[in-house]
Structure 1
Amino acid sequence: MWAPLANHRPVLVDHVPDDDGPLSPTTTAKLPPLDITLDEARLLGYKPHRDDYEREYNMEAEQLVSKLQVDPDEDTEMEIALKLAIVDMYTRRLKERARRKRIVRDYQLVAKYFANLRKDPSKRPMTKEQRELHEKMRVFSQYMSSGEHERLLASIERERELRHRLNELIRYRGNGLQTQEEIIHYEQHVAYMRQQKKQKTR
């Protein structure tokens, strides 16, 4: 008796289109959460359950449209165009706010800031060359994800290491060295000569 009714249950279909606007929850939903403690979040003014801040970027953006009213019956075409331009300005500001929030989440900038304050002694500090490279390449981080940026930096550093090693091997070959034992003996001899030179100049 009930089997036919069970087979005719209505199928619910979500007809709401995907929201990819500046306020879409998918803008930052797929990004990793901020790796900070509750005390750090409180100090920052960050609300982890809402994924929001007490003070967002460009807090005055909403003032553009807070008192905006559109009346198609009384507004002229120029007035409507002006109001649409204001809405477009507001949308652009929201997109920029979402973009900055995405970068902060993706690159864990807040966690890195507090990590620097904690100064973890177990973490190996960067060399001068690494700091200069990271500073020079920082401008490109906005065009790629955090993982892609880290892989790019690692590739560049690896390329530098290989170039340095290649120059060393060319220098060894130029001095007639062909085996690892010869290279070790050569480096020991160079270090000894440098030490002797330092002692003579004192």
Structure 2
Amino acid sequence: MERLASFAGDPLDRPPCRGCSSYLVEPYIKCAECGPSPVLLCLQCFTRGFEHKKHLSDHKYEIMTSDFPVLEAGWTAQEEIALLEAVMDCGFGNWQDVAYQMRTKTKDECESHYMKNFINNPLFSSTLLSLRSFEELRAADSAIPFRPTDDPPRPTFDSVLSRDMAGYMPARADFMEEFDNYAEWDLKDIDFVDDDSDILHALKVAVVDIYHSRLKERQRRKKIIRDHGLINLRKFQMLERRYPKEVQDLYEAMRRFARVVGPMEHDKFIESHALEFDLRREILRLQEYRRAGIRSFCSARVYERVKRVREDERRKRTMLCDVLQYVHDNRACQQWLHKQAAIDAGISPVVTTITATSSGRRTAPPLNLTGLPGTEKLDEREKELCQVVRLVPGAYLEYKQALLNECRRQGGLRLAQARSLIKIDVNKTRKIYDFLIREGHINKA
């Protein structure tokens, strides 16, 4: 005997009895020998020994019922199905309506049973965790620089980062302005009527076909952005900088071809060219060794060390060329001449720098933060930093959040990474970076 789940929902959706054509109610009988279409009988027809064509009354049979516990004692399989359908119809959290639809359980019983077995069930949670780890492992094996599972940045409206992301709204996973944003204007006044001529009807159909092609182009562009990870543009550019200059130029030139290949194929193409550049550089280095008569790598290390010393000496001899660039400034010329004389004498040069006061420039006064938006969100040390660096509080808070997010993702942050994230004066970036390090908000990589 096999016990299975019943047919729930509308009684009209249940299968009819083969004998009396009435809708089946549990428990009912299923023939275990007839097939492929099953022979289903109600209990009355089964007790009368109903036979039909190849079906005989002495065939083996199964009792179909859902009156047995599945997840918890006191809850039958039929009630489990009814609970899930009630939650689907009434919505999660409306336990009073769920209990009214079930009619066999109270509000508290429905809520506790659902939360225990379908929300907080460790079996389901472990399954979800295993699926997530599998997806992360599969994404880690690929060469895509941006994984779609990553949370894109959430910049403020009309900020620099928002403009870099082309108006992307992470909360809606869509763009503020679509490609060909006014394509619907050509379609809004079209109305198909019965008395249209054939030419007018064909013209309207052509306009609709053009609109469909524009919709397909929108979806194609979104797919390219999603597959290649172009939403987080700052992170994408930072990952590009790991390549040498030649590969970066190639990456920029070949980016237009990313639309015709997949993300993995495109990145493998770039990485293969990066390997080619490394091989070419190594070949040129070995050819230089061969021209110099070097036959072993031990000699090559000595050659490289002597070559660096020789280049340092050459730079010292050509320092007078640097002096000629400052001939128009008498004070700077005197400084460079003293430096050259000290180097020729074998002592470390001491160069006096020209301060802003001696050249007639005045240092800017501290920024007045009174009335500026965002000042109330800063503590005293942050206010002092903004006054000295002359940075408005709103911009400082945006830069701070960007550095904190990148440090959290990377596990640490270097000054070069901070400068690539914040496109302002490098001295201001260093002061902000040192301040956040000193306050313990971020840590060095």
Give yes or no for TM over 0.5: yes
Q: Give 1:56's aligned residue.
A: 178
Shift of 1:45: 5.4
1:4 aligns with 2:51: no
Q: Contact between 1:34 and 1:111, CA under 8 Å: does it hold in 2?
A: no
Q: Against the structure 1 CA distance between its residues 144 and 41, is the aligned structure 2 distance closer, same or farther, given a 3 Å change threshold?
A: farther
Q: Contact between 1:34 and 1:108, CA under 8 Å: does it hold in 2?
A: no
What are the within-5 Å matches in structure 2 for residues 119-130 of structure 1?
Answer: 127-130=244-247
Paired with 1:158 and 1:187, the residues of 2 have a C-alpha distance of 23
AA of the residue aligned to 1:8: P
Q: Against the structure 1 CA distance between its residues 60 and 68, is the aligned structure 2 distance closer, same or farther, given a 3 Å change threshold?
A: same
AA of the residue aligned to 1:95: K
Q: Contact between 1:68 and 1:83, CA under 8 Å: does it hold in 2?
A: yes
Gaps of 5+ in 2: 1-27, 40-146, 320-445
Paired with 1:8 and 1:176, the residues of 2 have a C-alpha distance of 89
Q: Against the structure 1 CA distance between its residues 148 and 175, is the aligned structure 2 distance closer, same or farther, given a 3 Å change threshold?
A: same
Paired with 2:240 and 2:293, the residues of 1 have a C-alpha distance of 41
Q: Give 2:218's aligned residue.
A: 97
Q: Give 1:178's aligned residue.
A: 295
1:32 aligns with 2:156: no
Q: Give 1:28's aligned residue.
A: none
Paired with 2:279 and 2:232, the residues of 1 have a C-alpha distance of 32
Q: Give 2:123's aligned residue.
A: none
Q: Against the structure 1 CA distance between its residues 196 and 56, is the aligned structure 2 distance closer, same or farther, given a 3 Å change threshold?
A: closer
Shift of 1:191: 1.8
Q: Contact between 1:172 and 1:183, CA under 8 Å: does it hold in 2?
A: yes
Q: Contact between 1:62 and 1:90, CA under 8 Å: does it hold in 2?
A: yes
Q: Contact between 2:152 and 2:170, CA under 8 Å: does it hold in 1?
A: no
Larger radius of gyration: 2
Seq. identity, %: 28
Shift of 1:101: 0.8
AA of the residue aligned to 1:97: R
Paired with 2:222 and 2:185, the residues of 1 have a C-alpha distance of 20
Q: Give 2:268's aligned residue.
A: 151
Q: Against the structure 1 CA distance between its residues 130 and 185, is the aligned structure 2 distance closer, same or farther, given a 3 Å change threshold?
A: same
Q: Against the structure 1 CA distance between its residues 149 and 168, is the aligned structure 2 distance closer, same or farther, given a 3 Å change threshold?
A: same
Q: Give 1:112's aligned residue.
A: 233
Paired with 2:228 and 2:240, the residues of 1 have a C-alpha distance of 18
Paired with 1:123 and 1:130, the residues of 2 have a C-alpha distance of 9
Q: Contact between 1:70 and 1:80, CA under 8 Å: does it hold in 2?
A: yes
**Higher helix fraction (1 or 2):** 1
Q: Against the structure 1 CA distance between its residues 41 and 68, is the aligned structure 2 distance closer, same or farther, given a 3 Å change threshold?
A: farther
Q: TM-score, normalised by structure 1?
A: 0.70
Alignment deviations for residues 3-34 of structure 1 (CA, whole Å, 9 cap, x no partner): 2399639xxxxxxxxxxxxxxxxxxxxx9356
Q: Contact between 2:190 and 2:204, CA under 8 Å: does it hold in 1?
A: yes
Shift of 1:87: 0.9
Paired with 2:29 and 2:184, the residues of 1 have a C-alpha distance of 55
Shift of 1:58: 2.2
Paired with 1:126 and 1:159, the residues of 2 have a C-alpha distance of 12
AA of the residue aligned to 2:182: E
Paired with 1:105 and 1:32, the residues of 2 have a C-alpha distance of 7
1:69 aligns with 2:191: yes
Q: Number of aligned residue pairs: give it.
A: 174
Gaps of 5+ in 1: 10-30
**Deviates most, 166-175 or 87-96:** 166-175
Relative contact order (C-alpha < 8 Å, sep 6+): which is higher?
1
Shift of 1:143: 1.1
Q: Give 1:191's aligned residue.
A: 308
Alignment deviations for residues 106-142 of structure 1 (CA, whole Å, 9 cap, x no partner): 12212224x47xx98x996554333322211111111
Q: Contact between 1:34 and 1:105, CA under 8 Å: does it hold in 2?
A: no
Q: Against the structure 1 CA distance between its residues 105 and 171, is the aligned structure 2 distance closer, same or farther, given a 3 Å change threshold?
A: same
Q: Contact between 2:227 and 2:263, CA under 8 Å: does it hold in 1?
A: yes
Q: Give 1:23's aligned residue.
A: none
Q: Against the structure 1 CA distance between its residues 41 and 75, is the aligned structure 2 distance closer, same or farther, given a 3 Å change threshold?
A: farther
Q: TM-score, normalised by structure 2?
A: 0.35
Alignment root-mean-square deviation, CA: 3.3
Paired with 1:52 and 1:201, the residues of 2 have a C-alpha distance of 58
